[in-house]
Amino acid sequence: MFDLIGMNASETLFARAQQLIPGGVNSPVRAFRSVGGTPFFTQRAQGAHLTTADDVDLIDFVCTWGPAIHGHNDPDVRAAIARALENGTSFGTPNPYEVDMAELIVELVPSVEKVRMCNSGTEATMSAIRLARGYTGRDKIIKFAGCYHGHVDSLLVKAGSGALTLGNPDSAGIPASFAAETIVLDYNDADALRRTFAAQGAEIAAIIVEPYPANCGLILPDPGYLELLRELCTQNDSVLIFDEVMTGFRVAAGGVQALVGITPDLTALGKIIGGGLPVGAFGGRAAIMDHLAPLGPVYQAGTLSGNPLAMAAGIAALKKLKATQPYDRLEKMGRTLRDALLGAAKSKGLPLQVPQVGSMYALFFSEQPVRNYGDATASQTAHFNQLFKYALDHGVYLPPSAYETCFISTAHEGADIEQAAEILAAGIRAI
């Protein structure tokens, strides 16, 4: 048992949690194992700020790992949930919100002609893979080292996110036969991709990729690389799946695919489309989507899929994005932080890369641009950990791992961005 005397509120909660919850957390990266120390517990959140159980105020660049693009506790999203709640929490039948959400997604995301809701990003990627295999009649898939697509058995191979943070990029409990159907390549290695399709193209059901890998930091594609994915899938009758759970509606209303003008066959979505409530979705070409039950032989289901509260929250979030079009403002805030970090690193003589797209950015203490998983894991994580601790001590919360992406919300605009830029720059100089 833990001695709770002398502990602050978060330490007390964590001590209690460790007796009842594996590792004391319900998602591994929250445990602070990578950066050290005891995780804080949040009692409330508003705008760009979290307030801990010990009443410490923090400027938040995790944004509930992406969904809070309008900031925490957004009044429009909150009002939409309240209106939906008056009519019930779950029905077990179709509801009007599902149709409204489908119309919005089809309108905004270039690849999506039909869409099905589910309950998490993991469900979305798992279902997209199953659908691709059912549609093509093939078994093998290609994924990329460092890309995390949720804790799906066949995809949790050389994964990023929490698996990478914990130094265990593969997971126990996955049969070798499952992993054998997954071909893992280095992101941005065009030659390896061409060789793989030349040797096994007739066996490959799909490529699944984060078009901007954001679960081992933030990695950007080489010029022409995403175009090559599209070309090879088309030539080999394989399905191209974009995992835009993180980038969808965050880098642009239509995701990366809208920015770069490349249309995948299927897209996995999540986070923002739930307005902070649990949600996922996958969609794409009607000819593929119609292979899902009840129309086709590929089974997928979920008791709470299309939950009215999550749909109402997500609709409010998407409509607000359509109405306000905040992407130029978010890009400006991202550049402000990037420039402050790079300027401080230059003055200190520290090697630092800050890949940034709109409201997403990451930090790699590395001499060279990070193009793949190997580059990411070769960066100086000790420097990031020092910056994390300095920032937290001075009121700024970064993701508790060197291998995660930072997020900005519209609520950061103004004083919060300026204050955070000063603190992060000072943290760089203190390393």
- Would you name the residues annotated as active-site residues? 148, 243, 271
In three state form, how does the secondary structure of the chain look? CCCCCCCCHHHHHHHHHHHHCHHHCCCHHHHCCCCCCCCCCEEEEEECEEEECCCCEEEECCHHHCCCCCCECCHHHHHHHHHHHCCCCCCCCCCHHHHHHHHHHHHHCCCCCEEEEECCHHHHHHHHHHHHHHHHCCCEEEEECCCCCCCCHHHCCCCCHHHHHCCCCCCCCCCHHHHCCEEEECCCCHHHHHHHHHHHHHHEEEEEECCCCCCCCCCCCCCCHHHHHHHHHHHCCCEEEEECCCCECCCECCCHHHHHCCCCCEEEEEHHHHCCCCCEEEEECHHHHCCECCCCCECCCCCCCCCHHHHHHHHHHHHHHHHHCCHHHHHHHHHHHHHHHHHHHHHHCCCCECCEECCEECCECCCCCCCCHHHHHCCCHHHHHHHHHHHHHCCEECCCCCCCCEECCHHHCCHHHHHHHHHHHHHHHHC
Spatial strand order of the sheet with 360-361 comes to: 356-357, 360-361, 406-407
The pair of three-digit structure tokens given for residue 351, joined into one six-digit string: 């090697």
User: How far apart are alpha carbons 352 and 331 in whole angstroms?
Assistant: 20
